Amino acid sequence: MSNYSLEVTQLTKYFGRRLIFSNLNFRFVDNGIYGISGPNGSGKSTLVKILAGIIGANKGKVTHSINGNEIIEEKIHNHIGFVSPYLILYEEFSAEENLMMFAKIRGVEYNKQRVDYLFEKFLLLKRKDDFVKTYSSGMKQRLKFIFALMHSPQLIILDEPTSNLDDEGKNSVYEIIREEGQNNIVLIASNERNDLELCSETIFLENYKQITG
C-alpha cells in the first residue's frame, strides 16, 4: 500500500491575460480515486500537466510526498503514471519495443512479468509484437495505460482516460482503475459521467474562476 500524498496550495494559472483557475486548494492523502471535472476548455488538462510537473503555475505550490517526506522535483516522475491524449507513440516500433524504450529513458527496470500482466489486462497481449501503426485509436489509448502503469507508480493521473475506447475497452480501463485505487492515488480529469462515478471526491474547476484575496 502506498503512503503517497498530493497537496495543492493556492494554485493559480494564467495563459496571457486569461485566467484558467485561481487559488485552487486540495489535499489527497488516502489511496482512492478522485476526479477533476469541468467543461471543455475549463483547465483540466492544464491542471494535470502542472500536477505532473510538465508545466508550471503562476502562483501556488504542488507538493508530492511519500511516507511524509516531500519528493524533490527531479524525482517526481519516478512516482507518477500519466495517461494523456498528447502522449507520443513510435508508430514504426512494436508496442513492446515502445515500452522498452520508455523504461530505458526513464531509467527504470523493464519488468516483463508486470508488462505482460498489463498487456493481458488491456486486451493487447496477442498484439504486443505488432507495429503501433497497425493499432486502432482505442488500442493506442490502452497502450498509453500500460506506459503509465508499467513502473508501478503511486500517483496515477488520467486525462480523458476513456477517449477513443469502445465499451469493452472502457470496461477493462474501469476494472484496472478500481484495482489501482485500492493501493494508490488515482486522479481522473474528465467530464464523462461514467468516469466520474468512480470518484469518491471531485474538484469542480468552474468554482475557481475568480480572483480572490
Q: Is the pLDDT of residue 213 over 60?
A: no
Report pLDDT digits (tens) over 47-84: 999 999 999 999 999 999 999 999 998 899 899 999 98
- Cell numbers 468552474: residue: 206
Please give the Cα distance from 173 to 195 (Å, whole number). Answer: 10
Q: What three-state secondary structure class fits 98?
A: helix
User: Is residue 105 very low, low, confident or very high in pLDDT (cuts 50, 70, 90)?
Assistant: confident
| For range 147-159, the mean pLDDT | 95
| For range 183-191, the mean pLDDT | 96
Residue 137's pLDDT is 92
The model scores a pTM over 0.85: yes
Q: Is the pLDDT of residue 120 over 80?
A: yes
pLDDT averaged over the chain? 93
Amino acid at 132: V
Domains located in the chain, CATH noted: 4-208 (3.40.50.300)
Neighbours of 148 (CB within 10 A): 22
User: Is residue 211 very low, low, confident or very high in pLDDT (cuts 50, 70, 90)?
Assistant: low
Residue 2's pLDDT is 65
Residue 55's pLDDT is 95
Structural contact between residues 79 and 154, judged by C-beta atoms closer than 8 angstroms: yes
Residue 64's pLDDT is 97
